[in-house]
Structure 1
Amino acid sequence: MDFRTPELDKLAAETVPQAYFELSAEDARDRYFADTRMLDGKQLAHNRFRTNPRTLVDHLLDQLALTGNERWLDLGCGNGFIAEQIRPHLPQGQVVGLDIAPGVLDAARQRLAGVATPCDWIEGSADDLSMFSDNVFDRVTAIYMMHYVPDIAACFREVRRVLATGGRFVVTTDRPDSMVEMFGVHFAAMKQMDAPAHLFKATPKARISLDNGREQLAPYFATVELVTWQDQLRFTAVGPFLDFYAAHNYCCAASRPGDGLEPGFFTELRERAGEYVQQAIDRDGYFAVTKFTGSFVCQ
């Protein structure tokens, strides 16, 4: 399934900035993931509006190649949404979830309470795995979270240390132009509002993307294979898209960089973006948000 078109490539070239926001791990812990609302909104939208019959979890299971007895460390486990779906594939294994944010970690703990597979939930940063012995995990994952890690290189060194011989490290991230349609309406609306110049940046995922991830991983792993995965969300009503947009902190503009803006800024931004989306729905029957994503499988 390939959603890439010359029109999307042109939109990306015209829309996605080279500069990107740099958000701290502390803000991730204390602001964005103090509770599960942002994660819940994204996960709900990806399930309800996807057009690829194969889910992200299907993609991950292919890359993990589980036999059922592996010890699995999920870095940045969040609310346990993915762990809950992978857990049945480890009936004789072990799940260890690590996250810097106690709010979402509590949600994961509650979500998987009482399941058959032993689960441990640990608060900590992915660049310090000193609580684990060498060669202890058969699988390690970092799913859409590596851009929040303060020291990415230190994380990779630590994963190499705790990964057992023959194990796999799966790093899932996006291309810089993933969800370009959302960026298109976002920046168009901000231009209408004459928004501050410092808000015209890409998201922090550009820190480690499908474009630059291999070169960052290669010093630590003998093989780094990229396996791509695509999806296209199609919204036939404006409201659900705007909820999705808000769950992404208005393309990060409502994160720390948005502090100090006039009251009502994001209300107006939401309304203006919604007008562009409604035009697309009236013209095409839906507004598309195309996901160009994938995983690096490291051994």
Structure 2
Amino acid sequence: MKTEPDFRTPELDALAQQVIPKDHFVFSADTARDRFFNDTRMLDVKQDVHNRFRTNPTSMIDHMIANLRLTGTEDLLDLGCGNGFILEHLRPHLAQGTITGLDIAPAVLEAARQRLHGTATPCTWIESSADELSMLDEDSFDRIMANYMIHYVPDLDRCFTEVRRVMRYGGIFHLTTDRPDSMLEMYDVHFTALKAMDAPQHLFKATPKGRLSLANGTGILGRYFKKVEKVVWQDQLRFTDPEPFMRFYTVGHNHCCASSEPDARLNEAFFAELRDHVRTQVVAAIEKEGYFAVTKYTGTFLCR
């Protein structure tokens, strides 16, 4: 039986207690639509880096496919489908099924449409928020996904209530998110840089996924679903060149959310200095250890 890698160490657990703030960023759906996903760059960078620099031989897509338990005939709804990267990989497992992709951002929704254009699996594309599913009939889907997007949804109560309404008996709601200390090493160099710059205190916040994370998700989802199973998955990205990491940090994660929204207190000179501080630390780690590691603590809630 294959054993999944475990990257947790006492040292990383202790570091997380020192580094990860209790408060997390909160961003509106409008910000997500108009800034993060007004094009596909953020998603493209994350997807490329996660694939090229991972060390877990089981990819996140493989993890999802195993959890979804597809037979090939399911009707699947993807909430926040983004650019269709995940759906492209799932589609061969739904050869006799259907795909419905929903996203609030027209740019990435169009990218998904183009990505799956011409496939034999029927695809429907809907521009809407994940808490507005009134256009969908009840008992319509065997599988519903929400991957790394639930923290943007304005009304979680309405979202989960609607998911239950449109999900068929025996179906699975597949929600993927992170632990609050996922990618700890990236946040460590980021906060170290901010401290060296005496940066504004409001920047010292954790990922917005803290709204519903692997740490608190069981209790939240248990209010809506009879059975909630948590399946964890770990990976570690390893970089021997600082530049791919810097793209991941600046474009993929908006300087750990510091540049996610316009702020008159933070100009380009501020971010140039921040990048210099971060790059210096990453280069030092590569010279000392041979690579800079970013450990991912992530996983999926399977709700029935």
Q: Give the Å deviation of 1:259.
A: 4.8
The residue type paired with residue 256 of structure 1 is E
Q: Give the Å deviation of 1:257.
A: 6.3
> What aligned pairs does 1:75-114 form with structure 2 within 5 A after superposition?
75-114=79-118
- Tell me how far apart the structure 2 counterparts of residues 281 and 96 of structure 1 sit (CA, whole Å): 43
Verify: 1:193 aligned to 2:197, yes or no.
yes
- Tell me how far apart the structure 1 counterparts of residues 145 and 273 of structure 2 sit (CA, whole Å): 38
> What aligned pairs does 1:1-299 form with structure 2 within 5 A after superposition?
1-246=5-250, 247-256=252-261, 258-299=263-304
| Count of aligned pairs between the two proteins | 299
- Tell me how far apart the structure 1 counterparts of residues 290 and 263 of structure 2 sit (CA, whole Å): 32
Deviations 1:200-255 (A, max 9, x none): 10111000000100111111111000000000000001111100101100110101
- Tell me how far apart the structure 1 counterparts of residues 264 and 219 of structure 2 sit (CA, whole Å): 34
- Tell me how far apart the structure 2 counterparts of residues 49 and 100 of structure 1 sit (CA, whole Å): 29
- C-alpha distance 208-259 of structure 1, shift in aligned 2 (>3 A): farther
Q: Give the Å deviation of 1:263.
A: 3.1
Contact 1:20 1:206 in 2 (8 A): yes
TM-score by length of 1: 0.99
Identity %: 62
Deviations 1:160-211 (A, max 9, x none): 0000010000000000000000000000001111110101101110000001
Deviations 1:14-58 (A, max 9, x none): 000000111010000000100000000000000100000000111
Q: What secondary structure is seen at the aligned counterpart in 2 of 1:256?
A: coil
- Tell me how far apart the structure 1 counterparts of residues 116 and 31 of structure 2 sit (CA, whole Å): 26
Deviations 1:136-169 (A, max 9, x none): 0000000000000001121110000000010000
Contact 1:99 1:105 in 2 (8 A): yes
- Tell me how far apart the structure 1 counterparts of residues 54 and 213 of structure 2 sit (CA, whole Å): 22
- Tell me how far apart the structure 1 counterparts of residues 82 and 40 of structure 2 sit (CA, whole Å): 8
Unaligned runs of 5+ in 2: none
TM-score by length of 2: 0.97
- Tell me how far apart the structure 2 counterparts of residues 226 and 257 of structure 1 sit (CA, whole Å): 36
RMSD: 0.8
Unaligned runs of 5+ in 1: none
- Tell me how far apart the structure 1 counterparts of residues 240 and 92 of structure 2 sit (CA, whole Å): 34
